[in-house]
Amino acid sequence: MPIVRPLITDQDFQEAVDLQYPIRVFKNDHMIDSGTKVIRFTSETIVTQSSVSSVDYHRRAECEFFEIRK
């Protein structure tokens, strides 16, 4: 059973970048991205990448982020 952990602090996001755990992104209680990885973050934006040509920018205040560990 996978472990799902919310990503809230900068330290949480840095760990997700360093360890390359897949994450899920929710906006307005709907999952908008799954299995993607955090490649960069700021205080306002989280940048995720799911493939070479698929890079998404998510506003940190509008979305919820969850790390998925198996």
DSSP 7-18: E-SHHHHHHHHH
- Each residue of 13-69: pLDDT tens digit? 999 999 999 999 999 999 999 999 999 999 999 999 999 899 999 999 999 999 998
pLDDT of 3 higher than 90: no
d(CA 62, CA 7): 13
Look up residue 43 and give its DSSP letter: S
pLDDT at 70: 79
d(CA 36, CA 48): 6
pTM of the entire predicted model: 0.90
pLDDT of 1 higher than 80: no
Residue 22 φ/ψ, nearest 5 degrees: -70, 150
Confidence of residue 2 (pLDDT cuts 50, 70, 90): confident
